[in-house]
Amino acid sequence: MAITLNNGFKMPVVGLGVWRMDGKDVRDLIINSIKLGYRHFDCAADYKNEAEVGEALSEAFKTGLVKREDLFITTKLWNSDHGHVLEACKDSLKKLQLEYLDLYLVHFPVAVKHTGVGQTGSPLDKDGVLDIDTTISLETTWHAMEDLVSKGLVRSIGISNYDIFLTRDCLAYSKVKPAVNQIETHPYFQRDCLVKFCQKHGICVTAHTPLGGAAANTEWFGTVSCLDDPLLKALAEKYKKTVAQIVLRWGIQRNTVVIPKTSKSERLKENFQVFDFELAKEDMDKIKGIDRKYRTNQPAKFWGIDLYA
């Protein structure tokens, strides 16, 4: 099952995110997920495991497990490389052992002091606040992203963690429209206005943190996951599915792409088994009622500044 992007390319609606995935675990995870039917992988330079993903992909291609054209590979431009878009993209391609990317995203709408191509630093100033580079505009970054399309290095380009205003601006100055906006959205952080705005203007929404981050975000940010919500647990019993499957199905029925992350083989399988049932409208409406406007991914903890404030 796939969504057709505004440039005609198709993007599988369920992908596997590799954030916070140890390099030593990546190989087995990628190979096993391909065997289970995954064809969409969400990477980023900042995840610091592109080389390991590349090794796994290379093995999958060489052994005939899958063909390159059957996969949809996303990676992202880190904040410290906004002034070095071409070099950063080539660095990611080299690590991933690919000739082209299906999708390249601007990871965050902020440029910071350059720390070296592919180094993905988040330099702080003397006050412990993210050292933002005010000389590089998002428009400049976007036009450099567009050049990657004309060079044949990427098929689609998009944005990530952009709000309505920044997305509107990108639509205004772009020659190549963003195909995707990847944002945090889940039942506790539904962001209906942003989702609808993007979809109205032909931008596919990909939900990162589609399960609310679960234990990982509790550990990093002290946040709560929607997977413990009583309503979602009741729906899981009703449909004889796991709570995670209910939440992912809800995301799919909103016409968003979901990229859950897991390193456990049984969860990997469960997260892909979301195509054999459908949530009734009344249950979709019930889930709408538990929105808390609650962001679980909070980089301000590391950056000393809340970019969403």
Binding-site annotation: residue ranges for substrate: 107
Phi, psi values for residue 71, rounded to 5° = -105, 155
Per DSSP, 130 falls in state B
CB-based contact 157:151 (threshold 8 Å)? no
What 3-state class would DSSP assign to 3?
strand
**Please, which residues have CB within 8 angstroms of residue 1's CB and are 6 or more apart in sequence?**
12, 13, 14, 252, 275
Residues in the chain: 309
Phi, psi values for residue 9, rounded to 5° = -75, 150
Nearest-angstrom CA–CA distance, 231 and 249? 15
Query: Which residue positions form the known binding site?
Result: 107
**Please, which residues have CB within 8 angstroms of residue 2's CB and are 6 or more apart in sequence?**
10, 11, 12, 13
Strand order in the sheet with 204-208: 16-17, 40-42, 72-77, 101-106, 154-160, 180-184, 204-208, 257-258
Nearest-angstrom CA–CA distance, 178 and 175? 9
Which of 38, 47, 162, 188 is catalytic? The answer is: 47
Nearest to 82 by CA among 60, 45, 63, 110: 110
Catalytic residue flag (residue 47): yes
CB contact burial 38-49 (16+ within 10 A = b; e otherwise): bbbbbbbbbbbb
**Please, which residues have CB within 8 angstroms of residue 236's CB and are 6 or more apart in sequence?**
242, 243, 245, 246
Active site residues per annotation: 47
